[in-house]
């Protein structure tokens, strides 16, 4: 009897779920990309990376190179005519307390919507056992510096913050500090995080959407980033099964997670190497050096970031967008439908419990 009740209820739930998927799903939004050709110079981005990595090859939070690199970044941003700022904080690395750590950022004010902020960010610190940290994330620093140069010289609609966080490697403390202390966080409309350009020839650009403990990239920003990356070459993003897993686990390994956790629309771009075995042997090691980077990758990765920035800047209005949805085959289910389906999963078990209760009857007082 119990098995019969369970199977009947399970069949009903499956039918209702199928109806929900068929009738309540919506088409994913079509992104509108900027028609302006990318203007960032890959050679200059590479030169920026080389200057950072060779001048400050030990940028762990417990080494003097970390503060020297922060001061250098501040000088680079100021030389472009940007408003500059820092945030000072302390953090633990194992049993060592690192003090006077700095986040560094530059601000280029928007001409039409100055109170709407787009943040583009990466970290500049590395673990203590790494030398140069060219791929993770010196190259990202080099590209963002070059993008700061490009946008500082032209008119753009929204305010752009070029942010270099510290201590990403030991718990994303720099991003946590920025979210907590930056005076304009209430005006942040979108965040683009860049982390790990990779070494050698790349196989594809990867777009990631995961928050830390909660939050997922809104669908409009997700589709825009994927479309922008696809214009530069092979691109991948999270598939339906892994998306479900990601949402269940909610563990992010990049600064994007801190922004999504706080409720800000954010997306992360990275790349995957063709020789993944070679890449894994070098990752987070003394061998992560600039001579293993390729100019072609600076172009692909940098142009992708610029397309995303320009597309965000040119949008008539930046939508809020829900962070609870499920995407599949070009369509998506809204958050309330997902919640309903999750509740329905318990229906067969509740039906069996109710059947057992009716069969057992009420328990006599004092029995």
Q: What does the block give as tokens for 342?
A: 């999750």
* Nearest partner of 35 among 231, 176, 201, judged by Cα: 231
pLDDT per residue over 34-61, tens digit each?
999 999 999 999 999 999 999 999 999 9
Read off the pLDDT of each residue in 83-99 and give the average, rounded to a whole number: 92
pLDDT at 365 over 70: no
Query: To 10 degrees, what angle do helices 219-230 and 295-314 make?
Result: 140
The pTM of this model reads: 0.90
- Measure CA 281 to chain center: 24
* Nearest partner of 156 among 317, 312, 320, judged by Cα: 312
pLDDT at 205: 97
pLDDT at 5: 64
pLDDT per residue over 289-309, tens digit each?
999 999 999 999 999 999 999
């Amino acid at each position: 009897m119990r098995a019969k009740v369970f199977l009947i209820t399970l069949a009903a739930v499956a039918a209702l779920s199928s109806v929900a998927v068929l009738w309540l799903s919506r088409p994913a939004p079509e992104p509108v990309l900027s028609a302006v050709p990318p203007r960032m110079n890959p050679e200059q981005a590479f030169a920026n990376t080389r200057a950072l990595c060779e001048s400050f090859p030990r940028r762990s939070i417990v080494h003097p190179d970390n503060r020297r690199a922060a001061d250098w970044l501040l000088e680079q941003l100021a030389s472009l005519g940007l408003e500059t700022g820092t945030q000072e904080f302390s953090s633990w690395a194992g049993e060592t307390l690192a003090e006077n750590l700095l986040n560094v950022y530059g601000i280029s004010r928007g001409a039409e919507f100055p109170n709407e902020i787009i943040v583009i960010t990466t970290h500049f610190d590395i673990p203590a056992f790494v030398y140069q940290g060219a791929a993770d994330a010196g190259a990202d620093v080099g590209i963002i510096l070059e993008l700061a140069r490009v946008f500082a010289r032209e008119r753009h609609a929204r305010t752009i913050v070029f942010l270099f966080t510290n201590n990403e490697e030991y718990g994303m403390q720099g991003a946590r500090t920025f979210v907590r202390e930056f005076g304009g966080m209430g005006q942040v409309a979108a965040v683009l995080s860049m982390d790990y350009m990779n070494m050698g020839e790349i196989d594809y650009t990867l777009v990631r959407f995961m928050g830390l403990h909660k939050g997922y990239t809104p669908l409009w920003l997700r589709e825009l980033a994927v479309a922008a990356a696809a214009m530069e070459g092979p691109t991948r993003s999270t598939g339906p099964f892994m998306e479900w897993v990601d949402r269940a686990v909610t563990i992010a390994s990049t600064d994007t997670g801190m922004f999504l956790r706080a409720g800000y629309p954010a997306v992360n771009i990275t790349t995957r190497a063709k020789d993944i075995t070679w890449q894994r042997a070098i990752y987070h090691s003394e061998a992560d050096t600039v001579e293993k980077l390729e100019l072609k990758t600076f172009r692909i990765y940098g142009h992708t970031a610029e397309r995303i920035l320009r597309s965000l800047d040119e949008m008539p209005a930046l939508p809020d967008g829900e962070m609870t949805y499920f995407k599949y085959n070009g369509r998506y289910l809204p958050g309330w439908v997902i919640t309903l389906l999750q509740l329905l999963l318990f229906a067969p078990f509740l039906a069996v419990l109710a059947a057992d209760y009716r069969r057992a009857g009420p328990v006599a007082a004092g029995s």
